[in-house]
Amino acid sequence: MARPPQFDLARELAKPSFTPSVRDAPALVELVASGDERAAGVLAKLGESARTAIAARLAGADEAARARLVGALGRLGAAAETDAIAALADASPRVRRAAALALGKTAGERAREALLARWDAANVTPDERRALAEALGKVGGDAALARLRALDPGDDRELARRRDRALLMAERGELRGEDSRVATDVPPPAPVTVRLHAKPGLGPLLGEELAARGFSPIARGDAAVDVELAAPWSALFASRLWASAGVRVPLAGEDAPAIARALTAPAVRALLAAWTRGPIRWRLGFASGHRRAVVWSAAREVALAAPELVNDPAQTTWDVEVDDAGALELVPRRADDPRFAWRVADVPAASQPSVAAALAFVAQARASDRVWDPFVGAGGELVERARLGPYRSLAGSDLSEAALVAARANLAAAGVTAELALADARTHAPGPVDLVITNPPLGSRVAVDAARLLVEALPSFARQLAPGGRLVWITPAPRKTSPIAEQLGLRRTRALAVDLGGVRGQLERWDRV
CATH of domain 9-174: 1.25.10.10
User: Which residues, listed in sequence order, are joined to residue 244 by a DSSP beta bridge?
Assistant: 197
* Burial of residue 307, with CB atoms counted within 10 A of its CB: 0-12 exposed, 13-18 middle, 19 or more buried: exposed
Domain spans in the chain, listed from the N-terminal domain onward = 9-174, 182-332, 353-512
Give the fold, CATH level 3, of 353-512: Rossmann fold (3.40.50)
The tens-digit pLDDT sequence of the chain (513 residues) is: 556 676 788 888 877 777 888 888 998 999 999 998 888 888 888 889 999 999 999 988 999 999 999 999 988 888 889 999 999 999 999 999 999 999 998 877 899 999 999 999 999 999 999 999 999 988 888 899 899 999 999 999 999 989 988 887 787 777 676 889 999 999 999 999 999 999 999 999 999 999 999 999 999 999 999 999 999 999 999 999 999 999 999 999 889 999 999 999 999 999 999 999 999 999 999 988 788 889 989 998 998 899 899 998 888 999 999 988 889 999 999 999 999 999 999 998 889 999 999 999 999 999 999 999 999 999 999 999 999 999 999 999 999 999 999 999 999 999 999 999 999 999 999 989 999 999 988 654 455 788 899 999 999 999 999 999 999 999 999 999 999 999 999 999 999 999 988 789 999 999 998
Residue among 434, 304, 272, 416 nearest 369 (CA): 434
Strands 465-475 and 419-422, by their bridges, are unpaired
- Dihedral pair phi/psi, residue 396, rounded to 5°: -145, 155
**What's the rounded Cα separation, in Å, for the pair 477 and 404?**
26
Residues 6+ apart with CB under 8 A from 290: none
For the chain, the residue count is: 513
Residue among 339, 368, 385 nearest 243 (CA): 339
Residues 6+ apart with CB under 8 A from 52: 25
Alpha helices, DSSP H, located in 336-393? 353-363, 380-387
Q: Is the dihedral of CA 230, 231, 237, 238 positive or negative?
A: negative
In the CATH hierarchy, which top-level class contains the domain 182-332?
Answer: alpha beta
**What's the rounded Cα separation, in Å, for the pair 135 and 101?**
5
**What's the rounded Cα separation, in Å, for the pair 500 and 282?**
29
